[in-house]
Amino acid sequence: CSTYFIQSKAMKKVREVRSQLVDICKQSNLTLQSCGSDWDTVRKAICSGYFYNSGKTKGIGEYVNLRTGMPCHLHPSSALYGMGYCPDYICYHELVFTTKEYMQCVTAVDPVWLAELGPMFFR
């Protein structure tokens, strides 16, 4: 963890969540299958659960929520913060309200996924 600047506490949580997902798959008789290095599959899965927490870029590090129109900013601890460019569309897990509305747990998404997964909100 120290070599790759990853918090060991976060990795323990990852291990717990993975274990829970494996148990759920076994109970539901689902085949456990990895997506390998196809990160689009993971991002699409996140988008399917959080399409209502999606935003479109408004400026550098600033987004507007597609459903509510509320302006939001990338949290400085986000991996997307300070990358040099801002993805056009994102999904986030939660908002933190301080001096601004900050999005945490953010990932870039394809706008086509939003239209597929939330057709009642997006076209």
d(C-alpha 66, C-alpha 54), whole Å: 6
Query: Of residues 114 and 84, which shows the higher confidence score?
Result: 114
d(C-alpha 34, C-alpha 32), whole Å: 7
As a whole number, mean pLDDT of residues 38-54 equals 91
Where do we find the tokens 């040099």? 84
Label residue 6 exposed, middle or buried (CB < 10 Å: 0-12, 13-18, 19+). Answer: exposed
Encode pLDDT of 1-38 as tens digits.
888 888 899 999 999 999 999 999 999 999 988 888 89
The model's pTM: 0.78
Closest CA to 75 of 105, 116, 49, 46: 105
- DSSP string of 10-67? HHHHHHHHHHHHHHHHHHTTPPP---TT-HHHHHHHHHHHHGGGEEEEEETTEEEETT
As a whole number, mean pLDDT of residues 86-105 equals 92
